[in-house]
Structure formats: structure tokens, C-alpha cells
Structure 1
Amino acid sequence: MTALFVDDRYRGAHGIGRYAREVLGRLDVPWRDLGLDGTPYAPLDAFRRVPGPGAADVVYSPGYGALLRAPRQVLTVHDLIQLQTAWPGRAKFLAYYNGPVRRVVRRAGVVLTVSETSAEAIRAWLRDDSVRVVNAGNGCSAAFTPDGPREAASDPYVLFVGNTRAHKNLDVVLRAAAVAPGIRVRTVVPAAEAAEVRRLAAARGVAERVEVTTGVDDARLAELYRGAVATVMPSLLEGFGLPALESVASGTPVIHWSGCRAVAEIVAGRGWAVSDAHDAHEWAAAMTEAARSSRTVAAPSDAYDWDRTARVVSETLSDVLG
């Protein structure tokens, strides 16, 4: 009998980690943990032995880590942002995606993703109409609602939730803070990046108005969203944009770059769209306007639902299992 194995190494305090935690806990299809060690993002992980699955079995990964020695593997490719990073760093991602990832996806005949923006990018990259690209969407934790406690702050603050990778574009927010002296910046980042955020803030002369938070659960994060005058999401590229969804679900508007399609789709007018991703003065003006307006926004419809996402993933895996 065909069995489903899951590469359960993705859970964590980040976008893919949250996706893995929410979806795997809701799968309708019985599954077994592959029991692999290490990280699925290690350069040579694609070539490791995969003990357990038989020739007819299926492996599911809630991330993009390809396992070439698995019989069949269904991936969730959240986005292709790594293929748009600067040279020469892009070269290693091109080799990985055009080699192990493309081979695994074509062998499975299906790949999952989280937004229509990412689905379009994956179809263009694959150039293979025989592969079905399934947009399973993304969900939003029940903790993110307008009702509930909010962070108390003596000064208005904007909230940044993300990391220090170049495409997240945190620097423009720090430069904006330098010309918007009445606004504080609260950041929620991985613990390993806290020191880097503090270094960047000091370099921009705003260290005293930038606070770094790590390791928060959903309830605490929701408090921070509710207390903010706006969430800032200056990303240049996103496959989905979960902080934008969590923010508007909490009633807090989002300041974002209009050219980032995935985020603009989620925000849908619930905030301020900045026309220039790198213009600190334009970002500062939006942050100041947010502080003056004390605006709240309506939560989106129930289209962003973890139960629905897990159901689509389950149905797709059931089809592959046969």
C-alpha cells in the first residue's frame, strides 16, 4: 500500500516554519515522519539517502528542499525570490533550482505554492505544461483579530516583522526613521539576526528609536500589531507576505511598496502604498501620516484560512498517492 512520508524539519519561527506547523497539524492524510536530521536547506541535503519510503511511496515537504533519492516528492515552493538575488550569489540558487528542484517537481508531476503570484512565476520557470501548479493559499492564525490586548507605547511606533535579507528592504525603514523623529520602529526578527538589526540601526543613527524583539508567540505578536500605528512591509519581492495578512487581520494598516504584487494583493487598500521602494522621505511621510490618522482597517474575508490550505494540500497529496 502506498504510504505518505513527511520531511518534518521545517517548523520554526519564520514564514515556512509557520506554514509547516499549521498545515502538517491539519493534514487529512495519514503520514509518517521521515526522521531526517540536519537542515533541509544544507547544500548537499538534496543528495542524501532517504531511508524508509518504498518505491511506490510519496514524500511531502512543506518547503523547497528537494530530495533526489526519494521515490516521488511533492514540494511546496513558496516563491522563487532566490532566483532574483544579486550575482554572484544567484548562481548557486540557479544551480539548485534548475537541477534538484526542477527534477523532483517534474518527477512528481505537481508542485504546491501559496499565492497566484508565485504560481505564475513557477509556471514560467518550469516551462512544462505537464506539471500541475496548485495554489493552496496561506492561512492566518486565529490569534490575529482586532479584538484583544494591544501593546502600550508612550510614542507611536511602526512594526516590522521579517528578517535582514536584502529583498526585505529593512534599510529604507531605518533611513525613514532618521527623518521622522516622532516615530519609533519595533522589529520582530529571528534571534540570530537581532545583533545585525541593532548594527544597522546604529549605522543609520536611530539605535535609540529601534527596538528588537525575538521569539514571540502568536498572541504576543498580535498585541504588537494592534499597538502599532502601521505595519511596514517594504519588501521588494514576496511570494505571499504573511505579516501583511496578520496585520490587517489585527485591524492595523500596512505601509508597503506598490510594486510588490503579492503584498499589494493582500493589503488591497488597507494602508498606504509607497511608489518608490527606496525613497526614505516617502516612507517617512507615510509613517507620519499613519501616526496622525490612528487608522484601523477591516479584517479580510475568510479566504485566508489554514483549514482550507491544509485541505487543498491533503487533496493534492491524495491524488498523487492514488
Structure 2
Amino acid sequence: MTARTGLVWDARWEVVSGIGRFSREVRTRLAIPTLEAGGAAPVSPRGLLDLELAALRERRGGRAHPPRALVCPGFMAPLAWPAPTAVVVHDLMHRDVPGEAGRARRAYLDTVVRRSVRAAAVVLTVSDHSRDRILEWSGVAADRVVTVGNGVGPAFTPQGPRRAEDRPYLLYVGNHKPHKNLPRMLEAFARVPGRPLLLLSGDPAPAVDGPARALGVAGRLRFLGRPDDGALAAAYRGAAATLVLSTHEGFGLPALESMACATPVLASPVTSLPEVVGDAGLLADPLDVGSMTEGMTRLLTDDTLRARLATAGAARAAAFTWERVAARVADAVAAHLGAAPPGGWPDVPHP
């Protein structure tokens, strides 16, 4: 499709988070200019005001040149933007999971964010599970919500340094929010024989420390802080398995990164995770402590199973590239917004 207008991207989301990684990986591959909208956090009061002020400037600039279309990678576009918008909604976690958000935030999602989604020319998301929920929640026409997926970065490969500990370890990568199911996961870990270690990204926090002390496993936990991609890949490679035992996910990027490093995954068979893991991981009921304990024990002791899943996981992860995600985003934006970056779309491999 011939582009009718220019294109700009709200890059304020590019911090350490899943949204930030998606934004950075896709925007840089598509060479889309960034929106000038101040440096405040996008969802802070100042950040929301900055976005509306950017919309006002874009409207005034339209007297000299056509307003540019806008891609917002973090679910919220300004309602007053004077050209078509694309909004990325990774999931509806704050809407669907008890304890993830208070009443005020849920009301904000159901009013302001839903209006932004309905006003967008196209809504992009990362899994078919999220797409189904967005369609149900928003009432947007099915052809305006497009699954583009997620990718895995070049640091995550089977080859490379491996983290070493004084005994086998399991790995958890993620935050400490309720949907991550950490209390049950820790209870299951406490029942695993052999006293393995559990390595966790981030720093000690009450959501982990309290249950770990009560279960008597605090001395077998190690915290990684915020490792860069190289250190995180080394932690994946050294692990007996990665645990992704959430009760809800919009995608599940740690499962993909672990498989790309040829490390088996123990995952929940819920929401988006079956789309990511397929038959290349071991599944356990996230509400059944015994099921999770059994899965952890098998992956620590069954070398044949671990080798089979390592091979299957690496093969499956190879299909999830950021180039393919960027190509799907470019196709959706060109089709629904009629827009392109300066100089046109770069040559990215299509799925």
C-alpha cells in the first residue's frame, strides 16, 4: 500500500520491561522516528499530559504538513491525536487478575483505555489469547485486532557462557505480582528432594521472603538483580529448568528465552503459555502444588527428558524472531494506517 502520511512512535515505554523490549526491538528494526513527548513515565499524570500536549503540537503542525500517524506500544494513545493510531495491548492482566490493580485502575482501563482502543485504526497484540480477550472486552471489529507475537534476542542461544552454582538450580525470571503464583511455586520447590537452589531475577521482596522463610527454603534462594541479556542467557543455560508457573500471562517471554537457550521449561497450561511452549515444554497445573513439585523433580533428575525438551525447545524458539514481529507490525500499520517511516519501510523478513 502506498503511504499517505508519515509515522512516529512513542518510545517513552523503552524501559526495563516486556513492553519496553517489544518497543525497542520493533521500532529500531523499522527505523520509525520517535515522538517528542517529554521524559516522564508514560502512565504518570505528567506523562499522560505530555502525550496530549504532543497531540496538540501535531495538530498545529498539520497546517504546514500532514499530521503523522502514531504507534503507541503501551496500550494508550491520545484521544485527540489528529491522524490514525495503532495501539499495542499486550494483555488485560490488570483487568482480569484479582489483586493486579485497584478499583481506580480498572475503572481507568474500562473507560479511558477502552476508548483509546476503540478509536485506534488497528490494535496490535502478542498472542491469540490476548487477542480473544481484547475483542471480548473492547467490542472492536475482529479485523482491527492483529496478533504480531514476540521475538527472542540474539543473546539467547544454546552456545555461550553458563552460570555455575555449587549444586543444580531452577530459574525463575519475572516480577513478584500475584499472577506469577510465587507462593505456590515456592511451596512446590520446598517439597523437591535433593535441596536444589532456586535463582530468581530481581531483588529480595516480601512476596518472596515471607513464604520462603516460612517454608524453610530462604537459604536456597539466590537473587540475580537486573541482569543484562548476556548474564541472563548464562543463567538460563546453567539452569536445570526455567519455571513459568503463572496463573495468567499475555505471552510469557521467559519461556521463549529459556527454550532459545536450550533449557527446558516447566510451564502452566493456561492463557497464552501453550501458544509459546507448544509440545516443547513440560506442563504443570499452577494451582496444584503436587503437580508442580513432580515437574520440578522430573526436570532435575531425568536427563533423557531434559535433553529431549532442550532440543525441541530450541527448534521451536527459532521461529520467534524480532524480524518476523517487525514485519507483521509493518504490514498491519501500512494496511490500517496508510503510513510509513521516512524513506519507506526497510526490508525485513516476512513470516
**TM-score, normalised by the number of residues in structure 2:** 0.83
Work out the percentage of aligned pairs sharing the same amino acid. Answer: 36
Matches within 5 A, 1:1-322: 2-28=5-31, 30-42=32-44, 45-46=47-48, 48=50, 49-51=52-54, 52-54=57-59, 56-71=67-82, 72-86=84-98, 89-129=101-141, 132-181=144-193, 182-189=195-202, 194=205, 196-258=207-269, 260-275=270-285, 277-294=286-303, 295-296=306-307, 297-298=310-311, 299=314, 300=316, 302-319=318-335, 320-322=337-339
Give me the whole-angstrom Cα distance separating, in 2, the residues matched to 1:32 and 1:257. 37
C-alpha separation in 2, matches of 1:218 and 1:126: 35
**Greater share of helix:** 2
Q: Please say if residues 114 and 136 of structure 1, whose CA atoms lie closer than 8 Å, have aligned partners that are also in contact.
A: yes
Deviations 1:202-256 (A, max 9, x none): 2432110111111211111111111111101111111110000111111111112
- For the residue of structure 2 that corresponds to 1:5, the secondary structure is strand
Aligned residues: 317
In structure 1, C-alpha distance between the alignment counterparts of 2:209 and 2:318, rounded to whole Å: 37
Structure 2 Cα separation of the partners of residues 233 and 87 of structure 1: 19
Verify the 8 A CA contact 1:172 1:234 in the aligned structure 2: no
Q: Distance in 2 between matches of 1:158 and 1:128?
A: 41
1:22-61 residue CA offsets vs partner (Å, 9 max, x unmatched): 1121114x42332323212226754553324236322211
Structure 1 250/40 Cα, relative in aligned 2: closer, same or farther at 3 Å? same
User: How far apart, in 2, do the equivalents of 1:90 and 1:83 lie?
Assistant: 9
Residue type matched to 1:37 in 2?
G
The structure with the largest alpha-carbon Rg is 2
Distance between the aligned counterparts of 1:251 and 1:154, measured in 2? 21
The alignment's C-alpha RMSD in Å is: 2.3
Q: CA deviation at 1:199?
A: 4.2
Residues 110 and 88 of structure 1, relative CA distance in 2, 3 Å threshold: closer
Structure 1 gaps of 5+ residues are none
Q: Scaled by the length of structure 1, what TM-score is found? A: 0.89
1:33 counterpart SS class: coil
Q: Judge conservation of contact 1:57–1:321 (CA < 8 Å) in 2.
A: no
Q: 1:32 to 1:146 in 2, by over 3 A?
A: closer
Deviation of the 1:66 alpha carbon: 3.5
Relative to structure 1, the CA distance from residue 77 to residue 301 in structure 2 (aligned partners, 3 Å threshold; closer, same or farther) is same
CA contact (8 A) 2:240 2:264 kept: yes
Give the conservation status (yes or no) of the 8 Å contact 2:97–2:248.
no
Residue 65 (structure 1) shift: 3.0
**Distance in 1 separating the partners of 2:46 and 2:96:** 22
Cα distance change, pair 38–203 in 1 and its aligned pair in 2 (3 A): farther
